[in-house]
Structure formats: structure tokens, C-alpha cells
A and B are shown apart, each in its own frame.
Chain A
Amino acid sequence: MWGAKMPLYVMVIDLKKCIGCEACAVACKMENATPPGISWCHVLREERGSFPHVRIFNLPAACNHCAEAPCEKACPTGATYRNRDGIVLIESSKCIGCRTCMTACPYKVRYLMKREVSYFSPEPLNPYEVMGYAQHERGTVQKCTFCAHRLEEGMKPACVELCPAEARYFGDLDDPESDVSKMVKERHVHQLLQEMGTDPHVYYLSA
């Protein structure tokens, strides 16, 4: 509808709930069919403390869909853009694979699709891989899309849907009634590398 207010999609990740199972990474791979070596969504791990008081700290990481995305500024063709929902996307037909966006991104969450490799190499691509890889153009840069294709159908991103610990929340920041909006306003959240001025749209609830 003309003049309708567009949502501002953000993700909130509760680090207290995250168990580092990487179900989000698997869900992302299943949904987006990324080849071996490319994980749009992954979990960074760090061992903290010393024996016997040791614990593993998990940090799920993916594209932060920054409001001031440096990748968008670095892109010489305009292939990287922010859509009306605040999601940073890549138009593959415009991407020249120059990789300047990859070095501009402080989170290192952009990947060059070099070639279609089978998970069962040296076996040829199986039918699932052939179908999945068709959405990725070789020689272009790829990254998390917040599952924009699922959002269009009214679904949540795959990583949010499949998280067994329910550590991920997704919604419209501009909607005062949404969970994410309340969390960002009322709870202690932080963003990664805030000092870089990128204003990420992924928020973390402290562990």
C-alpha cells in the first residue's frame, strides 16, 4: 500500500540461552544451500577461565545488516544495497566479485562463491546440490540475507526457526509491541564492534 510503513528487521540473540549447538548454522546451510567452506551463519567459540572453572563462551555470528554498512559504501557497482526493510542484500547480477566489500566488512561474514563443490567430492554434485547451488552465481560475493525469501512468505529466518534453545528473536524494531523492540529498549543489549559506527541490526543480550 502506498505510504505503508516498512518494517525495520533486526535480530536479537540471547547469549545466555545459546548452547553453541550450531543448529543455526545447519539450518542456514539447509535453507540456503551454501557450499563447503562457506557458512553464512556460524558460531565463534572461546574458552574462558582456568581449570576447574572453565566454560565455553559461544557467539553466533552472521551478517549484521548494518544501518551504516561499510560493504555497501565499498561496493563499486551498487550490487550491495539495503532494501526497504533494512536488510543488506547483494544483487548478484551486478556483482563483479572484486571483494572490496569483503575487506570492508569488519565482521568477516562475506564470502566469494568460487565454484560449486560437492559435499561428497570427488562425487559429482547431487540433485539437491544442483538445485541449491542454482541460487548462487559463481564469482560473486554472498552473505546472510536474513532469509529475505522466507520473510516474503511470512516466515522467520531459518536460524531463528530452528534454534532449539530459542536464543534467537527476530522482528520489527519499529513495532513497539514486538519482542525485539521491547528487548532492545528494556534489556541490556550490545552490538558487535559498535565503535566502528556501523550500527549493526543484530543485538546480543549479554551472557
Chain B
Amino acid sequence: MIVRRGMTFEYQDAFGIWFVLATFFLGMGAGLFILSVLYGFILGKLVGLIFILLELLFLGIEAGHPLRVWKAFGHPRTSWLSRGLIGLSVFLILAIISILQGYKFLPLSDVSTVGRSVNVVAVIVAAFLILYGSMIVARYPSIPAWHSILVPPLFVSYGLTSGTAILFFLYPLVNMNPIQLGQTGLIVILINLVLLLMYWIELSLSSTAAKESARIVTRGKFWPYFIIGVVLAGSLIPVILIAGQIYSVPQRPTILFLVAGVLSLMGSFLFRCVLLKIGIYEIPT
């Protein structure tokens, strides 16, 4: 607990590492699924689905009573967790249909109108899933650093960045254009960086607790995780590596993409860790 004049700050202790892992895998899985549908990459869709199932596992571990989770479907009118679980159920069905299309097990092909519609709806639901993960933290104003309009876009951009990072590992297995993939990676990481900067500026200019959150990520005890882990290693170095791969040495093996992918994933994970650590309540006294 930190006490300042007229204000008591308390760090959140509700969510921990399992929540970080859950949102990390949810974002990565949904981002990978969206990109795989756009690229027509069946293996990517399957891996994305597996990551999203892992998110369910981590949420279950985080919950005090995982066997009662079925009760959480009942309040979608007000609860984002309910909405998310309903979205997850719909997504599982659509994702399985979308994956089976590629293996020709189903009569509807992915070039038919119905098949395309399934893919489009699956992409929309996948984007909703990333949004739900972010809204669990961003919905309520109790923690000013989380209650930001930029948190949901950051989760979406980190989801897409992580999805691209996984594609960096998988694309040698399929006939995918590495230049196009690299350009996608560059765009999403750059958007991410801009959003991060805007988020930090917003925190610095907001309420007292949000300012404290902004302070601890740049000058406080978490600065190495944010500055070195999230910004430098997680965003700036991958940008340089990807740009180097696609604009300077396109004939080289994929090692630069692999390193950029690992660093991006680390940045995405650390961002969520830092976000939890800067969750500060502001209780006026």
C-alpha cells in the first residue's frame, strides 16, 4: 500500500500469472486464426484453435471453482466473462467447420458463399474474443490504468502481433509469401508501438493512480520489463529484424523472422505482466 496526501494506492491482487497466460494465449490464438483465415492457412487455424483452448484451461486454473464455470454463461447482459464464454462456444463450432472445410470433410468448400460466410463470422468472433479478454480488465473504472480506451486496441494489436509471430515459425511449412508476411508483421508491430506510446501518454496525463502507473513503468521498479522487455526487445528490435529480412537480405534463411517472432511473443507476454503490475486502485482518504 502506498499512501500519498489525500490518496491511498493499493495494488491489485486479484489476477495473477494464470490470467496473464490466459489472455496471452487467447490473443495469440485469435490473432493467428484471423491471419490464417486471411492467408488460407489451415494449420494456422488449427494451432490458433488449440491456443484458444489453452486459454480456457488457464482460465479454469485461475478460477477458484473451475467445475462451476458452466454457471458463468448466464449473465451476458452485464458480464464480459459471460459474453466471452458464449463467444468462445460459438467460436469453437465455427473454427472447427472452418478447419474441416480445408480438409474437404464437409460438403461446403471455403470458396462457396456459405463457406466464406463461416470464415467471415469466425474472424469476427475471434476478434470479439480478443476484445472480451481486454474488457474484463478495461470495463470498470476501479483501476484507472486499466480503464483506458486504448487497452482493447492494444490487446487486439498484440493478438495480431503474436499471431504473426507464430506464422513466422510456421510459414516455411506452407507456400506463403515471406515478404507479404514480413510486411504484415511490420505493420502490426508499428501500430502496436504507436498505441503503446499513446497509452503511456494517456496514463501520464490522467488521474493520480494512472500517473503512478505511468511512473512505475518508466522510472519505478518495473521499468526494465517495460522499457527493455516490451518496447525495446518486444517491438523495436523485431521491427529492425523484420525490415532487415524483407528489405535487405530476402534470400537469407528465416532466422531473422524466427528471432523477431520469439522477441515479439516475449514482448506480448511481458506487456500483459506489466499491465497487471500497474493495476493500482485509488482510494481517496
Contact = CB atoms under 8 A, between A and B. Distances in A.
A76 B14 contact: no
A80 B185 CA distance: 43
Interface string A67-84: 000101111111000000
Interface in B65-87: 65-66, 68-69, 71-75, 78-82, 85
A95 to B, nearest CB: 7
B285 A76 contact: no
B23 to A, nearest CB: 13
Interface in B29-88: 59, 62-66, 68-69, 71-75, 78-82, 85
Given A44-B285, A98-B62, A106-B281, A77 B141 contact: no
A96 B8 contact: no
A135 interface: no
A112 B142 contact: no
B142 A104 contact: yes
A46 B283 CA distance: 12
Given A59-B285, A95-B64, A102-B14, A78 B75 contact: yes
A96 B68 contact: yes
Interface string B189-202: 00000000000000
A155 interface: no
Interface of B: 3, 5-6, 8, 10, 12, 14-15, 59, 62-66, 68-69, 71-75, 78-82, 85, 136-137, 139-143, 146, 279, 281, 283-285
Interface of A: 44-48, 57, 59, 61, 70, 72-78, 94-100, 102-108, 112-114, 138-141, 192-193, 196
26 contacts: A46-B6, A57-B285, A59-B285, A61-B283, A70-B142, A74-B80, A76-B71, A76-B79, A77-B68, A77-B71, A78-B75, A94-B68, A95-B65, A97-B63, A99-B15, A99-B64, A103-B137, A103-B146, A103-B279, A104-B139, A104-B142, A106-B283, A112-B14, A112-B64, A139-B64, A140-B65
